[in-house]
Amino acid sequence: MSVDPVNYRRRDAAALERDVSYAVATLETFQSVLAQCGVSIPGSNLVELGPGSDFGAQLILASMGAQVTLVDRFLTKWDPEYHPRLYSSLAERWCGAKGELEAVVRAGTHAASSLKLVENPAEDMQEVQNSAADFVYSNAVLEHIIDMERVANEIARISKPGAWSAHQIDWRDHRNFDRPLEHLSMPDEAFKDAAQSVHYEFGNRLRSIEFWAYFEAAGFSVETREVNHVVNSDYFAEALPRIRSSQSSYRNWPEDDLKRISGRFYLKRHSDSAMVTGTEHGNDIAALIGALKKTTLELVAETNIEEEFEEIEVGVDEISPEEGHGWQIAVPNFPHGDDVDNSWSSKLRLLENGNDLGPPHSLHASIRSEGRGRYSHWESTLFFSTSDNSSPIANKRRYTLRVPTSWVESRQIYSVIE
């Protein structure tokens, strides 16, 4: 049920000028952050986590005299239809040093540059030496990683004592930036299943306080935490009661931290002599956070009454095509479908030959483009795909809807089979 990582997808040549402008903006941000940390570009060893689909800004930094290492679990591949055009346009626009940018265009490969390209997950940067980096940087990356404790420890391992790090982190639910806290009301296991299927592309849910604790526990001092954006107050007033009544480990999370939806951490690696004290404090805070979330889930489990379900078979005459791999079934009498105010309310489950499909509550665009069992009970319609993207009308498989018995007993639903 997985999808291709963003960096492995084909680039849109029509968006070339936009991408050139983004590369210039990335470089300017990089320069600003380095200046704020007092790190000189020439001769410095820079490590970036998750550089994205092109290395334009990083090639210019290398042209300016930096040693640049790029680390990504899904490191972008050279695209002969895209990268030469992008880098040529960037070279035309950039007035400063660009020798390495021009070299890769001439050679037709990133290997013609001095960039060290490391295709490792941030949790295990085995090809990067201990204490190698003067500066470690990431932009909108750490919200997508899986094991933040390991990542923080790896960043500490590759950093020299006294080295700086800067990490811009986006804490929103990436499925809908206008509703940035929706994933916090999802039950933990359901969130994990949904997030794993898309390589955590819509976020790992960790909040600002958790990142702070992980950084300290790894041996960093948090010099500054800049909060870039906070949640819209009207949306927050509507979302908070749903989080507080959810089965999520974030249901009791402090309001101030829930409101923070993006920020940048500036970190400094402790010297070896100061490492122990900082690490102990960070470990204590991380332990408190873990205890809060564990206690929250235990209370949820104690108060949650196991609900009984019944299954209703779907007739092929009730199914109609939608778009792409998508199909639809009208369920006008079903209550509690997802909607714009709550994208995780439906308890309906879809089975194919007795096996659960999913993930449920999927984006409709991903149902259409990716399929593979994704579905969504949205308002009065069930949008779905089959496990192998075959036609549910022709594949002769049995499709059933698993719904709470309370829906049946209250006469809120009827069999879709006439």
Q: Domain limits of the chain?
A: 6-296, 309-409
Band the pLDDT of 9: cuts 50, 70, 90: low
3-state secondary structure at position 394 = coil
pLDDT the model gives residue 108: 97
Mean pLDDT value of segment 112-117 = 97
Overall average pLDDT of the 26-49 stretch:
96
175, 182 in Cβ contact below 8 A?
A: yes
How many whole angstroms separate alpha carbon 113 and alpha carbon 86? 16
Q: CA-to-CA distance for 51 and 76, rounded, in angstroms?
A: 9
Residue 131: name the closest of 248, 47, 242 by CA. 47
pLDDT of residue 171: 97
Indicate if the pLDDT at residue 141 is higher than 50: yes
Which whole number is the average pLDDT over 145-172? 96
For the cut 50, the answer to whether the pLDDT of residue 411 exceeds it is no
290 pLDDT band (50/70/90 cuts)?
confident
Report the C-alpha gap between 220 and 145 in whole angstroms: 19
Burial class (CB in 10 A: 0-12, 13-18, 19+), 142: buried
Per mean pLDDT, which range of 56-60, 315-319, 359-363 is the poorest? Answer: 359-363
**Average pLDDT value over all residues in the chain:** 88
CATH superfamily ID and name for 6-296: Vaccinia Virus protein VP39 (3.40.50.150)
The widest CA-to-CA distance across the chain, in whole angstroms, is 76
pLDDT given for residue 291 in this prediction: 84
Q: Average of pLDDT values for 349-362?
A: 89
19-23, 203-207, 328-332, range with the lowest pLDDT? 328-332
Q: Is the pLDDT of residue 202 over 60?
A: yes
Band (40; pLDDT cuts 50, 70, 90): very high
pTM listed for this prediction: 0.75
- Rounded-to-integer distance, Cα 70 and Cα 57, Å: 12
